[in-house]
Structure 1
Amino acid sequence: MTLLVVGSERVDAGKTTFSTGLVAQTGAVGFKPRAGNDYWYHHDDYRNAVEAGSIYGKDARRLAAASPGAFDPTDINPVHRLWQPTPESGEILGQDGREFLLDRAGDQYVYNGTADIPESAREQLPLSEAVAVADVDQLNHVMERAHVPALQNLARIVETTDRAVVESYSDVARPLQGIEPGAVAVVAPSQARIFDGSRFIKACTVSSGTASSFHGQLEERVSSVIDLADPVATVSLPALTDEQRHDPEMVATEYGEAYDALLETAEW
């Protein structure tokens, strides 16, 4: 059985806090198919990852730590993107004052040949074996060869996992193709809306999608999808302290009503 957690906001919706508590509540394995962070704004996370010889974010690290067994963040998060701030739009996927620097897709690295790659990344990541891209067409071509197979492989792992929690990124409604969850939690500050999984996926199919800043393809946004489906339940989420947010067992206790509604909808 798979449960999907998505956010109605692009940032700070509370997806990872909700997901780690759900993992603790159910004993499921948490997955983060795609993620991204910023070299400047998330510099501690960046340094911790590159010193371990990879790039990943705190969301994947928290999910891996909360899951039963011994998982590295890269085990549950096959695709990760690193951005950096820029005063002007970058030549490749530059928007909102930031530009694309690096992607990790499985074991393959892709980097922006038009950007200044941090020296620490060049020293500690296997970029000598990486693919350099100079425009969006080249990046999309590499994604077909590297990103898509990495995500397909994760989908197979999720399908064969007895209990799985899949956390989306940004406000994307369907982070992993080919997976139909038993139920979906749409998380926002102060509340979670619970949806039947099959109806949510049908709404994703009907939704036209909007251009994603992460991937070169069209992806359905949560705001478009929830206009096409009615929630089974809407449950209030209490505000949490920093201590509570970073303790999955505490989150499981505080969010218990929402988790009960989600598991009942999934018939789990």
Structure 2
Amino acid sequence: MTILVAGSDRVDAGKTTFTVGLLSHLDAVGFKPRAGNDFWFDHDDAMAAISEGRLYGKDAAGLADASAGDHSPEEVNSVHRLWWPAPGKGKGLLGQTHREFLVDRVGESFVVNGTTDLPETVRENLPLSDAVTIESVSELNDQTERRYLPHFRALAERINDAHRAVVESYSDIARPIQGVEFDTVAVVEPRRFRVYDGARYAKACEVADSSARDGSLEKRVEDVVNLLDPRETHTLEPLTEAERADPEKIAAVYESAYEALR
């Protein structure tokens, strides 16, 4: 069984909380192929990893902790991107307004944005001596072919080999990884989630309009689900902070909703 959890809101859709509880409910392994955080807005979370010479986010850490078996955040998350604000600079290397990427972790290696100065603590703590430095979108595209895609393919194989796998997407991107066929898709947003057949969702991904995102064309969730009728729609109840911190408590609150994904 392989389930995709996608979010229809770009920010705070509730994907990770939903996924963590689902992992506990199914005794499954969770994956987040792509992730990222902001050195300014997520500073504490970023520094928790950077101070250890690592780069991952709290979402991947939560999925790794809630998964069946013993997994590190890096094992369930192939690529992690560190951003920070770029006030007054307009569009940066990847065309993001007032935002620029600093460094990517790709597997165990790093790709650095050579058009900006890295924060001192990032330079000092991350093992960047062998990192690849890029200064243009064309160079990033070349590294995507050389470095990023092989890691995504390897992760897809691990997902396909898992007895039960739950894959969390990022932002409002409809399909975070190629080469994986999903049995069921859960589209999560505040107060509700919708259930879609995996095969029909995949076909809708093929025909939906694309939008420019991080230098590539990606399908957004709402553009995909606008082409489909959900198999089921369920209400999501709000959770207390204590419930959100415990995968088993999330699973208990959402148990009846999770059964719709089997």
Q: Decide: shared fold, TM above 0.5.
A: yes
Distance in 2, Cα, partners of 1:90 & 1:53:
29
* Alpha-carbon distance, 1:27 to partner: 0.3
Q: 1:168: Cα distance to partner?
A: 0.2
1:209-231 Cα shifts (integer Å, max 9, x gaps):
21123xx3211100100011110
Distance, in Å, in 2 between the alignment partners of 1:257 and 1:240 is 15
Contact preservation (8 Å) 1:235, 1:257? no
| Aligned-partner Cα distance in 1 for 2:188–2:172 | 10
For residues 202 and 257 of structure 1, the distance between their equivalents in structure 2, rounded to whole angstroms, comes to 28
**Distance in 2 (alpha carbons) for counterparts of 1:168 and 1:126:** 27
Q: Which amino acid aligns with 1:112?
A: N
Q: Is the 8 A contact 1:90 1:100 kept in 2?
A: no
Aligned position for 2:261: 262
**Structure 1: how far apart are the matches of 2:243 and 2:181?**
31
8 Å contact 2:3–2:183 — kept in the other structure? yes
Contact 2:182 2:198 in 1 (8 A): yes
Gaps of 5+ in 1: 264-268
SS at match of 1:184: strand
Map Cα deviations across residues 81-132 of structure 1 (whole Å, 9 max, x no partner): 0000111235311423211110111122101111110111211212110011
Task: Work out whether residues 27 and 67 of structure 2, in 8 Å CA contact, stay in contact via their aligned partners in 1.
Answer: yes
Encode CA deviations 1:41-81: one digit per residue, 9 max, x unaligned: 11111111112221111100100011122111000001010
Counterpart Cα distance in 2 of 1:89 and 1:152: 34
Identity %: 53
- Change beyond 3 A, Cα 1:247–1:96: farther
Which residue of the partner structure matches residue 172 of structure 1?
173
What is the root-mean-square deviation in Å for CA atoms of aligned residues? 1.0
What pairs up with 1:40-51 in 2 under 5 angstroms? Answer: 40-51=40-51
Give the TM-score normalised by the residue count of structure 1.
0.95
Q: Deviations over 1:13-42 (max 9, x none)?
A: 000000000000000000000001000011
Partner of 1:126: 127
Distance of 1:252 and 1:140 partners within structure 2: 40
Query: Which residue is equivalent to 1:145?
Result: 146
Paired residues of 2:104 and 2:110 also in contact (CA < 8 A): yes
Partner of 1:64: 64
Specify every segment of 5 or more residues in structure 2 that has no aligned partner in the other structure, as ranges. none
Partner SS for 2:21: helix
Does structure 2 conserve the Cα–Cα contact (< 8 Å) formed by 1:105 and 1:146?
Answer: yes
Name the residue aligned to 1:7.
Answer: 7
1:185-264 map, 5 Å: 185-213=186-214, 216-263=215-262
Distance of 1:244 and 1:96 partners within structure 2: 36
Please, what TM-score do these two structures have when normalized by structure 2?
A: 0.97
Aligned length: 261
Decide whether the 8 Å contact of 2:92 with 2:99 is kept in 1.
Answer: no
